[in-house]
Amino acid sequence: MRLDINGKTIEADVAPDMPLLWVLRDELGMTGTKFGCGMAMCGACTVHVDGEPTRSCVLPVSAVEGRKVTTIEGLSPNGEHPVQKAWVAEGVPQCGYCQSGQIMSAAALLKKNPKPSSAQIVEAMDGHICRCGTYRQIHAAVARAAKEG
């Protein structure tokens, strides 16, 4: 399979029904995208597919052939994306497990809507589970990235 991941063409010899998450983590060594629930419910596995936040744990890799996939590793290799900077400034990181999925959804929101309302931020981040309960900090970080981005 020929995949476009983080702007690079990658050949992967995998079954077409293998979830994208496992191709990324186990076959390509991109471990920034996390496994959470395996049912597309928690958001830890969120990546961008053609710019849209997509849950990779249930998405067969064959569904992304010919499409552009961006992982947390490809969002900003040096951590300089406005959402990543706001994440640190607002003290979001705790255990860190949900972060990559949350950041990917926030980045997709701000790309589509650079100045979202508070309600739009809540809607875009709905369905992401943070085990540490840093929802207020997450909201503040998205708002900060919109303001400073």
Q: What is the pLDDT of residues 56-71, one digit of tens each?
A: 999 999 999 999 999 9
Rounded to whole angstroms, how far apart are CA atoms 15 and 34?
20
- pLDDT of residue 137 exceeding 80, the answer is yes
Instruction: Report d(CA 105, CA 110) in Å as an integer.
Output: 9
pLDDT average, residue stretch 106-120 = 98
What are residue 11's phi and psi, to 5 degrees? -95, 130
> Is the pLDDT confidence value at 142 over 80?
yes
User: What pLDDT score does 149 carry?
Assistant: 77
- Residue 96's pLDDT is what? 86
Among 3.40.50.880, 2.30.30.90, 3.60.21.10, 3.10.20.30, what is the CATH number of 2-75?
A: 3.10.20.30
Q: What is the pLDDT of residues 11-31, one digit of tens each?
A: 999 999 999 999 999 999 999
What burial letters (b/e) apply to 34-55, b meaning 16+ CB within 10 Å?
bbbeeebebbbbbbbbeeebbb
Q: What are phi and psi of 10, to 5 degrees?
A: -125, 135
What is residue 77's predicted lDDT score, i.e. its pLDDT? 82
| Model pLDDT, residue 106 | 98
Instruction: Return the closest-CA partner of residue 68 out of 124, 8, 21, 134.
Output: 8
Looking at domain 82-148, its CATH architecture is Orthogonal Bundle (1.10)
Identify whether the C-beta of residue 57 lies closer than 8 Å to the C-beta of residue 21. Answer: yes
pLDDT at 136 over 80: yes
Q: Where in the chain is the domain with CATH 3.10.20.30?
A: 2-75
Residue 140 has pLDDT above 80, yes or no: yes
d(CA 66, CA 80): 28
CA 80 to chain centre: 15
Mean pLDDT of the residues in the chain: 96
pLDDT band at residue 101 using 50, 70 and 90 as cut-offs: very high
Q: For the chain, where do the domains classified as CATH 1.10.150.120 start and end? A: 82-148
30 touches 73 (CB < 8 A): yes
